[in-house]
Amino acid sequence: MPYTLSNEGIILIFKFNKEMTEKDFNELLSIFNKCLIRQKPFAFIVDASESTLAPFTCAIKLVSWMKNNKSNIKKYLIASCLITNYTKLIEIIKWVFKQQPPSSPNIITKNLEEGRGYIFKHVNNNEDEDEDEDDDEDD
């Protein structure tokens, strides 16, 4: 398998071990779709630090997916992170974000710990907000 998938609570962590194919990318979008259908908050990290470029068609699919799911992404995706050392991939993701600005916080970084810290900060802030809403309901 070209990637491993693990989770830490509501955070999905994808670790790519080689170049991402279009098939791999379609699987990734399928998993994201399932998360949106669940209608529960989640976050994800894509660790492509040991991977190179995906086909450009994946960027076009990502733009389309983001546009089609904009309202649900805003509701359920707390934050996302891409970890890569590959400059061309960073440029492509920045192009994607120019076509369709992200609906939730994200970071592109070369540093795994920076990315994890960013995601955990947003997840923890989201949990704090949920607790505040629960407190308001008790009043």
Question: How does pLDDT run across 83-114, given as a tens digit for each residue?
Answer: 998 888 899 999 999 999 999 999 999 999 99
Question: What is the CA 139 to chain-centroid distance, rounded?
Answer: 35
Q: What is the dihedral of CA 37, 49, 53, 73, to 10 degrees?
A: 20
Q: Which CATH code fits 3-138?
A: 3.30.750.24
pTM here is 0.86
